[in-house]
Amino acid sequence: MSAEDNLLKLVEVEEPDDQDYLLQEQVGFILRKAHQRHVAIFAAHIGDLTPPQFAALAKLRDVGETSQNQLGTLIAMDAATVKGVIDRLKARGLVELSKHEVDKRRLLVNLTAEGRDAIERLIPQAREITKETLAPLSAKEVTTFMKLLAKLA
């Protein structure tokens, strides 16, 4: 191989073209898979509630009664999505709705007694889910990962 060929090869290696795009190495693709794995772990522990439904209950426990819209902001769900989630929780008697007396646009959401019981009972399970999701990492790796993931979210 001539010196020119070597130079050419170096240039090719250092300037990857379209041939080198590997789907399975892209953040988006791996992020999607990691999320899928988490959802599967969640479902294995808590079969009768989805992660978004759990998030809604957990946040209501934190903040108490709020408007549907505000709740959506707190759990990163758009208005259309949060409505569906709350509808299903209401149908199961875990939350109750009421109208804001002053601002008539707002729909207030709150836990029912049953909803409060449910979320208190589920929180230990949720800790377990977090633990299992992070199980492939060492304690130190967990700290690092959470710090970096938070920067991306």
Partner DNA sequence: TTGATATCATTTGCATACGAATGAGTTTTC
Partner DNA sequence: GAAAACTCATTCGTATGCAAATGATATCAA
Number of residues lying near a second copy (CB under 8 A): 48
CA dist 63 and 71 (Å) reads 9
CA dist 148 and 13 (Å) reads 29
Point out which residues pair with 113 in neighbouring strands: none
Residue 70 engages DNA in binding (rule: CB under 7 A): yes
Residue 136 binding partner per list DNA, a second copy, none, with a CB distance cut-off of 5 to 8 Å that depends on partner kind = a second copy
Do the Cβ atoms of 15 and 6 come closer than 8 Å?
A: no
CA distances 33 to 9, 24, 25, 89, 149, Å, are 35, 10, 11, 27, 15
Residue 105 engages DNA in binding (rule: CB under 7 A): yes
Q: Which of residues 83-142 bind a second copy (CB under 8 A)?
A: 120, 123-124, 126-127, 129-130, 133-134, 136-137, 141
The residue written with tokens 């449910």 in the block is 118
**CB-hemisphere CA count at 13 Å for 35?**
10
Residue 88 binding partner per list a second copy, DNA, none, with a CB distance cut-off of 5 to 8 Å that depends on partner kind = DNA
Residue 69 engages DNA in binding (rule: CB under 7 A): yes
Among 57, 60, 77, 122, binds DNA (CB under 7 A): 77
Among 42, 57, 59, 68, binds DNA (CB under 7 A): 68
Which DSSP letter does residue 24 get? G
Q: Given the rule CB under 8 A, which residues bind a second copy? A: 18, 21-23, 25-39, 42, 51, 55, 58-59, 62, 75-76, 120, 123-124, 126-127, 129-130, 133-134, 136-137, 141, 144-146, 148-153
